[in-house]
Chains A and B, each alone.
Chain A
């Protein structure tokens, strides 16, 4: 039985995030995600998917409730700790957020540069990943010269190059055809197998139904469905964890 509460990747209890007018965008969300789990976050536009991801990559602070990431209390984290933690999180943004003056190769290698990897290491790994996502021929191209789908693949390669402990993807298959979408999902599965926790926010029902992973369904800021959220841990984990904490 898992008793060590610190071993969770994400723990949220009654978390609420409000707009400036006090209208909740996430309303009393409670969830616990264990390491090596794989989840989809679904919901209509404005349901709070992106806000949930923002909270997970520490861009947005909850207004109320308790939120722990990698077992550490969000409210107690100092800025250097947040920076360190973010280096263990890969993010695929909905709008890709590639740096326009950097080549595809440089964009992919950027997280390695941030953690201080050596040049040849960065180059080799970035080339390998670009090759894997089918963009070996475009490694010296700048983002404006790439199609939406290609940019998305560069963004995905950038998010996974450091083999993060947690990967958050906002609509990662939104701009690619089905073949590439499946390929990307397989890449995520492979990452998951080597220990990365994956959370994918998507509208794509086909992908969600094809890959039978638990889903977190959001509706108007409320978490309506949790599927098998605590997969890979014992059923009574949540009960024990809650009892330990509160």
Chain B
């Protein structure tokens, strides 16, 4: 006669509580994956913008009293820039073009342009990293103190603040989702212990350590949370995959979503939720068992 395996479950596990945990966990896991992907996308977008901004910058040469000095400084600057590794192109912006850049700022008062001596602008294109660009800026200023580098710092700062706020918001939402999951597991653990009080008491009378009893609940909840969070993760992945297909390769703000390494982050979510639910379930059941001890 075939014998059933002993003790698949020592305590009765309420199916409706199990379903409740799976459904809510999958929703929360979906939202957690979305917020994580959004955070990653925002961060990458910021790095991308920063890179683009760093690729071009202006060097301004303030006019001196003597025309000969201006020319010497310009030549020195051009020579320095051209000999710097990572600088791809150096172009002195012609006066008309520089004036055209200023026109939108001056409006109708175009005549004032003629009254002032304007700086000479050098348009520099590089493939330098942010750190290397800072080094270039520093050494340029050391050699040629009259030179001013306009490296889009204001824009970079703005972008940094903007992306930082979005990243913080995503993290905050992620934290709220984790808190939601903790509340769900806590409530469900509590309900389970209360519903099975009779059997829990019996196990206690048989000398079962709290750890033994608590393990029966932990097993149940971690299993349900793993199922729920995996469903949520798969849904989120499918959702973004489908979204990207709709984008059809266009370069949009979404292009940093679902990159190869994101798979590891996404897989980390069910594992993290599992650990979290395990800890919450254990603390809750142990606390309830200790509260009810004789």
Contact = CB atoms under 8 A, between A and B. Distances in A.
- Same complex origin of A and B: yes
Interface in A86-145: 86-89, 91, 97, 99-103, 105-106, 109-111, 113-115, 119, 122-123, 140
Interface string B1-32: 00110110111100000000000000000000
B202 A83 contact: no
A7 interface: no
A103 B3 CA distance: 11
A36 interface: no
Contacts of A89: 207
25 contacts: A59-B205, A79-B210, A79-B290, A79-B293, A82-B294, A83-B209, A84-B207, A86-B204, A86-B205, A87-B206, A87-B207, A89-B207, A99-B10, A99-B11, A99-B202, A100-B12, A101-B9, A113-B10, A114-B203, A114-B209, A114-B212, A115-B207, A119-B6, A122-B6, A123-B6
Contact of A60 (B10, B208, B293, B294): B294
Interface residues of B, number: 22
B13 to A, nearest CB: 9
B6 A109 contact: yes
B46 interface: no
Contacts of A61: 294
A131 B10 CA distance: 23
Residue among A58, A84, A102 facing the most chain B CB atoms (10 A cut-off)? A102
A182 interface: no
A238 interface: no
A58 B199 contact: no
A128 to B, nearest CB: 15
Interface residues of A, number: 34
B6 A91 contact: no
Given A99-B199, A109-B6, A122-B6, A86 B206 contact: yes
A106 B206 contact: no
Contacts of B12: 99-101
B6 A106 contact: yes
A91 B203 CA distance: 12
B209 A80 contact: yes
Contacts of B3: 123, 140
A114 B294 contact: no
A119 B6 CA distance: 7
A105 B207 CA distance: 19
Given A58-B294, A61-B294, A99-B202, A114 B207 contact: yes
B293 A102 contact: no
Contacts of B10: 99, 102, 110, 113
A135 B204 CA distance: 26
A207 interface: no
A57 interface: yes
Contacts of B4: 103, 140
Interface in B155-200: 199
7 tightest Cβ-Cβ pairs between the two chains A and B: A86-B207, A87-B207, A114-B208, A101-B12, A83-B207, A97-B202, A83-B209
A59 B207 contact: no
Nearest to B9: A101
Given A83-B210, A99-B202, A140-B4, 8 more contacts: A85-B207, A91-B206, A99-B12, A99-B199, A111-B207, A114-B206, A114-B207, A140-B3
Contacts of A113: 6-7, 10
Contacts of A97: 202
A57 B6 contact: no
A106 B7 contact: yes
A57 B204 CA distance: 11
